[in-house]
């Protein structure tokens, strides 16, 4: 996949927090922001996002915790 350079505007306090997180975790800023975007996009439409799916997953979790119920 080819990376594209983009220009974005971010509040300087938020940018400082991003840079601190990058320093703590050994990421480059671009890598960190790309991972956040990918995670957010996946979470927005991934499996288990509907109320019905969440309810079914919760029921399965309960069964796995207590197989007698």
User: Which residues constitute the domain of residue 59?
Assistant: 12-65
Q: Residue-wise pLDDT tens for the chain (69 aa)?
A: 788 999 999 999 999 999 999 999 999 999 999 999 988 887 766 667 778 888 888 888 888 887 665
- Determine the pLDDT at residue 67: 63
How far out from the chain centre does Cα 29 lie? 16
**What pTM did the predictor assign?**
0.58
Total domains present in the chain:
1
Residue 6 falls within a domain, yes or no? no
- Residue 33, number of CB atoms within 10 A of its CB: 16
Residue 54 falls within a domain, yes or no? yes
Residue 7 falls within a domain, yes or no? no
- Determine the pLDDT at residue 32: 94
């Amino acid at each position: 996949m080819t990376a594209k350079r983009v220009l974005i505007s971010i509040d300087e306090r938020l940018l400082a927090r991003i840079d601190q997180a990058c320093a703590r975790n050994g990421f480059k800023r671009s890598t960190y922001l790309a991972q956040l975007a990918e995670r957010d996009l996946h979470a927005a439409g991934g499996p288990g996002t509907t109320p019905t799916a969440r309810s079914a997953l919760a029921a399965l979790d309960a069964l796995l915790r207590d197989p007698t119920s």
